[in-house]
Structure 1
Amino acid sequence: MVKSKKKSIITGLLILFMILAIVTNPTKQEYLQFSEEQAGIPTPSSVEIEKINFGLFSTYAPKVLKDEYGIVHIGFMGKFFQVSNGQYDYPWWLDFFN
């Protein structure tokens, strides 16, 4: 009985965490604002931002040239985390989702 109660509590907390992550998944507009704060200048209109939404989190990759990408960030729970060093290539792990 105690194990099933612990399992129920853990499952409930996990579901609550997932709902919180989905609700706080940042938008493209929030990414543009973050990018502007980091760079100190607005993102040029010639730069396309590629967003891939995974539900719990999203990835944001500025497309600088035809097939060259800038620094890729993951947006999770209202925050952004850098996952590439701006080597202007598409992250290999995102290929699995295309």
Structure 2
Amino acid sequence: MPSDARNKPLRVTGFIGTRVSDADRGPQVRLSPDDARARLLNEGELAWVHGPRRQELATVVVDAAVHRGDVVLRDVAGVSPSEVVRVVKPDLDSHTRRGNFA
């Protein structure tokens, strides 16, 4: 993955794991307003979280309490605190096909 201002690595400083009984669940990434702005992300959008073992789509939450360069993840599998991830806006405008479909 090429490195530019829109996908600089971010350090995971917190991880929130929810329970089945929790009303508010699902993959979520919390990042600072500066980091969200640099990645052209808005509150409530989906973003790819590229971790060391897998990638997953997560809902973006812009949180001023999160320091620049850090992220807090909720229910994102394959990531733990102190690891480095990249948060990237999905390219939904590209019409390239992957694989061979009939």
Q: Of Structure 1 and Structure 2, which has the larger fraction of its residues in strand?
A: 2
The TM-score range, normalised by the shorter chain, is: under 0.3
**Higher-Rg member (1/2):** 1
Q: TM-score, normalised by structure 1?
A: 0.24
After TM superposition, the score normalised by the length of structure 2 is 0.24
More helix by proportion, 1 or 2?
A: 1
